[in-house]
Every structure is written in structure tokens, then in C-alpha cells.
Amino acid sequence: MGVTENKIIETRTKNVSAQFSMLSNLFYSSSNSDTETDKYFSTLADDMAGVFLSRVQVINRDFTIISDTYQLNKGKLCISAEVNECFNGVNQAYTDKKNQCIVLTQAIKDPSTGRITHVLFATSSIADIFTAMDSIRTVLLATSIILVVALIALAIFASVQLSKPFRQIEDTIEHIGEGGNVETISISGGSEIQAISGSFNTMLKRINQLETSRQEFVSNVSHELKTPMTSMKVLAESLIGQQGVPEELYQEFLTDIVNELDRENNIISDLLTLVKMDSTGMELNVSQVNINEMIEAQLKLARPLAKEKNIELVLESFTPVIAEVDETKFSMCISNLVVNAIKYNNVDGWVHVSLNADKTYFYVKVQDNGFGIPEESLDHIFDRFYRVDKARDRATGGTGLGLAITKSIVLAHNGTIKVYSQVDKGTTFTMQIPLTYLKKQG
């Protein structure tokens, strides 16, 4: 604003100075110099003052003011530096901001002699510029205040609107923390808010699925643990309640009790495996292992189960494979996949296991023509506690932990596991495992 004000005043000063210089030439051009009189100069000075809306004084060489527009100093002496310099030929034009005026001095020469006979001393008011600039400053200040207030109000409104969705999310989290159940939340807003809302709803869905799975798992495990105990109790009470029981019956009942104990032990072992993985992470005892022989050993253990349903169990080895794995844990992966392929298969079905390798990885594929997995369950079969067919799993003694354990072991080996399945056509699991184990850092 200060720069603008100075520029306006500078422009006004130049214009007034130029016109003042031009009009001052009229003092001798309108008449012969010998007829010039103080009265004539006074008249011209008054006319000039009217043009510039200013005060004009005419001073002769005796430094006497012979004409004053305001008639205040007429006849008085005016001995000032500006007037003295002007009689020496130096005209001036400058701004007096304190008094809000332009000060001009202009020498009047006698055209016949070239001698300076008088000095015009004038002041032209620029109060209008200062008044206008003050008005502009006032308007700008008022506008700035209004804008600041408006921006503050807008910022407050925007912050309230922006924080509203997050308060809703916060309230939902507190509700969940207190044990409440929330299916989804609906939040309106920009694309970023919608993205956050979508991610939060995905998380809620996942939490609800895990909670449902947990509840089902508690129910399933309770049933699985209770069933063998109930069976053993019935068998033991039957033996106690009979006199002279034949040895063959004792053997049969004790065999059944041992089978129930094995079943109970399997459930507890799976639970302990999960607890250990959750609490300390999985520690691997890695060594060089012949993968062909390891798979053959697991298939040999699974053949009696396959024979019960007349299921063809075949291994196809395309190349000898030696890899760095935890033999005990990876054997569990093979066993889980093969046993599942047998359990969830039809009588007279088949289970094909294949082994292949390249320079970096080895690949194990377990394929069956059994019941298959519904498409909506494929994304969840590796979830802990998840069971595709609860009734069928209970009949086969499953706990819904086997595939979760299998995936954890595969990931611990820096591998991947994928599944492809169609209902009533079968399922294929494929594992890709590095030949050389590299322990993850951090």
C-alpha cells in the first residue's frame, strides 16, 4: 500500500510541476516586459492558483511577496532556501507529506535580458490522495477482518465436518472395546473419507468373522474334547458294571479307549501348536532333507486311512529334491493336506501328490476328486477355527486348525500356498518352498 501511495504522489508531482512550468511562461509572453506590473503578476498568479487548486505567491528580487493567493503574506519578506536557490536558477518540485502538499518554485525570466526577475512559490494540496488512501486502507482493513472472520468460521465448520466421521469411528471403536457388536458404519464425505469408511467396514467384517469363528471354535473344541471323554466314560462304566467279562471284550473296549485318547491327544496337540505360534512365533529346526523320502513316509502313514475308503493314493516325483526345511513341521504340512484330501473325498476316489523343482524352489501339489470347497469359503479356509462343513468336520473329527497350522508353517519357510477347488469336482493345494532357507530379519 505504501508503494502505491508513493507512486500516486510522484505522478501527481510530475504532472503539477510540468503544467506549472508551462504556465509560468505566460508571465512575460502576454505583454512586453516593460509593461509588466506587480498587479499583472498578481492577476496571473491568482488564475494559476485556480487551475492548480493551490496557493501561489509571487516574490520579487527584493524577496518581497508582491502577490499571495490567500492574501496573508502579501508585502512580507520571504527569504527561504528554496526561493534563494530559485533566484540562482534552480527550480524545485518536491512533496511535503507532513503538510500534505507539493512545493514548487519556478523562476520568471525577463525574455529581453534573460534575467530572473521574480520567483513563483506555490503549494498544491495532495490531501485528497491521503484521504483516498486512508479510505482504501479502511476498506481493506474491514475487508481483511471480514475475510479473517469468514475463514475462521469456515475453518471451524470444516474441522467439525471433517472430525465428525472420525468421532463416529472413535465411538464405534469404544463400543467394540466395551464388548458391543457392530456390523458396518455409514460415513458420508469425500473420497478419502469414503476410503477410510470402506477400510474400517472391511476391518469390522473381519473382526465379526473372527469372533464368529472363535465362538464356533469354542463350541467345536468343547464338543470334540467332551465326546472322547464321554465315550471313554461309557466304555469304562460298562466294564465296571459287568461281572466275568471275557478277555476279548476287555481288549475291544480298551482299544476303543486308546483310540479316543489318541483323538483327544490330536485335538490338544493342535491347540498347543497354535498357542506356541501365537506366543513365541515359530522356531524352525532347519536341515538338509530329502523331500522325496519325506513325502513317501507321510503317504505310507496315510495309506491305511485311504484303504478304508478304497481311495487311490499316488505320488509322482519328477526330480530328486534336497531342500533346507524343518522336517518335522513340513511333514505336518504334507500330512494335513493328504489326510484332508482323503477325509473329504468320496469312496473309490483318488488323491495324487506330485513333487517337482527348479533352481530356486520346489513344488508340492496335493490334488483330489473329492467334495470340493464352495467359492465363498476359499478366502477363509486358512483362517484359524474356520470350518467349511461343520457337521462333516465333526463327523471326521476335524477342529478347523489343520490348514491354519499348515499355512503358518509354509510362511515360516518363506513359501506360499494356494488352493483351487470346485464343489463335487475336487480340490488342489500347491505349495512353493525355497530350496535354500533364509531366515527373516527383524
3.30.565.10, 3.40.640.10, 3.40.50.2000, 3.30.2010.10: which CATH number matches 282-434? 3.30.565.10
Tell me if the domain spanning 2-125 has CATH number 3.40.50.10470. Answer: no
> Which cell numbers in the block locate residue 131?
484521504
In whole angstroms, give the CA distance from residue 103 to residue 94. 5
Residue 263 pLDDT > 50, yes or no?
A: yes
In whole angstroms, give the CA distance from residue 323 to residue 287. 8
Tell me if the domain spanning 191-278 has CATH number 1.10.287.130. Answer: yes
Residue 37 pLDDT > 60, yes or no?
A: no
The mean-pLDDT minimum among 232-241, 281-290, 359-368 falls in: 232-241
pLDDT given for residue 35 in this prediction:
44
Percent of the chain's residues with pLDDT above 70: 79
Residue 46 pLDDT > 90, yes or no?
A: no
Q: Answer with the residue of higher pLDDT: 181 or 167.
A: 167
Instruction: Please provide the DSSP assignment of 113-147 as one string.
Output: T--EEEEEEEEEE-HHHHHHHHHHHHHHHHHHHHH
pLDDT given for residue 31 in this prediction:
46
The mean-pLDDT minimum among 187-191, 213-217, 372-376 falls in: 187-191
Q: Answer positive or negative: Cα dihedral of 19, 22, 25, 29.
A: negative
What's the pLDDT band for 421 if we cut at 50, 70, 90? very high
Residue 84 pLDDT > 70, yes or no?
A: yes
pLDDT given for residue 399 in this prediction:
59
Residue 254 pLDDT > 50, yes or no?
A: yes
The mean-pLDDT minimum among 190-199, 310-319, 351-360, 406-415 falls in: 190-199
- What pTM, to 2 d.p., does this model score? 0.48
Residue 81 pLDDT > 60, yes or no?
A: yes
Ramachandran bin of 63, using left for φ above 0, alpha for ψ from -120 to 50, beta for the remaining angles: left
Tell me the mean pLDDT in the region 261-288.
Answer: 74
pLDDT given for residue 157 in this prediction:
83
Pairing outcome for strands 322-326 and 101-109: unpaired
Q: Do the beta carbons of residue 102 and residue 123 sit within 8 Å? A: yes
Q: Do the beta carbons of residue 99 and residue 39 sit within 8 Å? A: no
pLDDT in tens, 304-327: 999 999 999 999 998 999 999 999
Indicate the average pLDDT of the chain.
79
pLDDT in tens, 378-399: 888 887 666 666 555 545 555 5
pLDDT given for residue 146 in this prediction:
92
In whole angstroms, give the CA distance from residue 239 to residue 122. 137
pLDDT given for residue 415 in this prediction:
93
Q: Which of 108-112, 190-194, 359-363, 390-394 has the highest mean pLDDT?
A: 359-363
Q: Domain extents for the chain?
A: 2-125, 191-278, 282-434
Residue 34 pLDDT > 50, yes or no?
A: no
pLDDT in tens, 111-128: 777 788 888 888 888 888
Residue 133 pLDDT > 90, yes or no?
A: no
In whole angstroms, give the CA distance from residue 238 to residue 184. 54
